[in-house]
Amino acid sequence: MSQKVSVTGIPSSAYIHIPFCRRRCFYCDFPVSVVGDRLRGETSGTIGQYIEVLCQEIAMSPVFGQSLETIFFGGGTPSLLSTAQLQRILQALEERFGIASGAEISMEVDPGTFDLAHITGYLSAGVNRVSLGVQAFQEELLKTAGRSHSLVDIFAAIELIRQVEVPEFSLDLISGLPHQSIDQWQDSLAQAVAAAPTHISIYDLTIEPGTAFGRYYKPGDNPLPTDETTVKMYQMGQQVLTGAGYQHYEISNYAQPGHQCRHNRVYWENRPYYGFGMGAASYLQGKRFTRPRKTKEYSQWVQAGAVIDCEVTPADEILLETLMLGLRLAEGVSLAVLSAQFGEAKVEEIHQCLQPYFEKGWVEVVGGRLRLSDPQGFLFSNVVLAKLFAELGA
Ligand code: SF4
């Protein structure tokens, strides 16, 4: 594509990676270091040292002039931070960018890693949204997945979140775990609904190379559920959660009306954002950059000036990213915006490329927006995106 595509937009969101976990789950390939609980709260320990480097990175970041509207502490296990450590990072963000009043400040928390004092402290520091990594409501599946917590820890965590009345409460589940039955999945969905979070995320397990599961299992093989079963699980999730009043607003995400995740919408709308910390990605001035995934290399990169050393994303890739991310949203992507950004001819090309899927009912245009149908289009999103990548890719 020769046309120059605008990738402007002033970032007002920041992702902060906290790369520490009590143990590594068997399916996880995120950039994390395993630390013991004893390191928690130490200023000179592993976590304390990391935070100093992270705050240095924040202090050196380019600033584009808009205060932060969303901040997301992801991991890893951000709930291994003490309140003072969390405050230290928020203070660094405030000093560098400013934090807008009413900003959404999210934090991923894991059962068994926080108590009443922690969660009260996080809220008083400014956190107003927590995302609880439950994954399954069966003790045996928690063990199978290598989670560090028990079922008792899950119920205690839910109780604490209720007790302190966290304004936004999201709960994560995983479908497609080894040995997971349809009945267990149904039970997990029912228990999730009973916990009454404002938001529920459901991830279908992917077997990643380099993980324990990658060594134990082959996708589609026993004891992993068959494709047919994972499709049933997806459909069941959609039926149970929409039946309970949650809107299926993104391929893997459900929210009570008015409770969508503002931060994650920035990604799906392909808008710019800051990223800080080991392995964190940022998208600034059209440059998508991922920081080193190992502590030592990350620290060296910060000491060397935290230089974002990469090319601006080419127009063809921006188009594919916009489609890949935007079609995850139930509302899809605006054809008028696509046309203004990439040209009418490109939009026509997209239509032609997707023609077979219009006929199958997997894609549709509603209110001037191109979107995947729910649940069929979402279920076959990989097929649709593969076709787009094959035909529109550079
Ligand atoms: S808690 Fe999350 S980040 Fe940590 S090992 Fe498990 S899946 Fe990975």
Other residues' Cβ atoms within 10 Å of the Cβ of residue 269: 14
Mean pLDDT over each residue of the chain, to the nearest integer: 94
CA 188 to chain centroid, in Å, comes to 20
Residue with CA closest to ligand 1 atom 8: 28
Report d(CA 187, CA 196) in Å as an integer: 15
Is the CB of residue 80 below 6 angstroms from any atom belonging to ligand 1? Answer: no
**Rounded Cα–Cα distance for residues 170 and 196 (Å):** 9
pLDDT reading at 1 higher than 90: no
Asked if residues 116 and 59 have their Cβ atoms less than 8 Å apart, the reply is: no
Domain residue limits, the chain: 13-268, 314-394
Q: What is the pLDDT of residues 96-119, one digit of tens each?
A: 999 999 999 999 999 999 999 999
Closest listed residue to residue 229, CA positions, set 249, 211, 205, 208:
205
Find out whether the beta carbon of 110 lies less than 6 Å from any atom of ligand 1.
yes
In this structure, the number of other CB atoms found within 10 A of the CB of residue 256 comes to 16
Pocket test of ligand 1: the residue of 77, 132, 211 to mutate, having most ligand atoms within 8 Å of its CB, is: 77
Q: Does domain 13-268 have CATH number 3.40.50.10890?
A: no
Which secondary-structure segment (H or E) carries 322? helix 315-326
Q: Which atom of ligand 1 is nearest to the CA of 110?
A: 1
Domain 314-394 CATH assignment equals 1.10.10: yes
What are the b/e assignments for 174-185, b being 16+ CB within 10 Å?
Answer: bbbbbebeeebb
Mean pLDDT, range 326-332, rounded to an integer:
98
Give the position, in ligand 1's atom list, of the atom nearest the Cα of 76. Answer: 3
- Asked if residue 82 lies in contact with residue 20, where contact means CB atoms within 8 angstroms, the answer is no
270 within 8 A of 321, measured Cβ to Cβ: yes
Span 120-178, pLDDT tens digits: 999 999 999 999 999 999 999 999 999 999 999 999 999 999 999 999 999 999 999 99
Q: Which of 239, 213, 215 is nearest to 141 (CA)?
A: 213
pLDDT for 44 equals 64
Ligand 1 touching residue 275 (CB < 6 A): no
Contacts by 347-354, CB closer than 8 A, 24 or more apart? 349/391, 349/392, 350/323, 350/388, 350/392, 353/387, 353/388, 353/391, 353/392, 354/384, 354/387, 354/388
Q: Which of 27, 30, 142, 205 to mutate to test the pocket of ligand 1 (most atoms within 8 A of CB)?
A: 30
Question: Burial, 126: exposed, middle or buried (Cβ in 10 Å; 0-12, 13-18, 19+)?
Answer: middle
pLDDT category of residue 258 using cuts at 50, 70 and 90? very high
**Looking at residue 40, what is its pLDDT?**
63
Using alpha carbons, select from 105, 193, 117 the residue that is nearest to residue 160: 117
Instruction: Tell whether ligand 1 has an atom less than 6 A from the beta carbon of residue 279.
Output: no
Q: What's the rounded Cα separation, in Å, for the pair 51 and 388?
A: 41
Residue nearest to atom 5 of ligand 1 (CA): 24
What is the sign, positive or negative, of the torsion defined by CA atoms of 237, 71, 371, 368? positive
What's the rounded Cα separation, in Å, for the pair 394 and 266?
A: 25
Name the closest-CA residue to atom 6, ligand 1: 25
Distance CA 156, CA 111 (A): 8
pLDDT digits (tens, 9 = 90+) for 14-70: 999 999 999 999 999 998 988 766 556 565 688 999 999 999 999 999 999 899 999
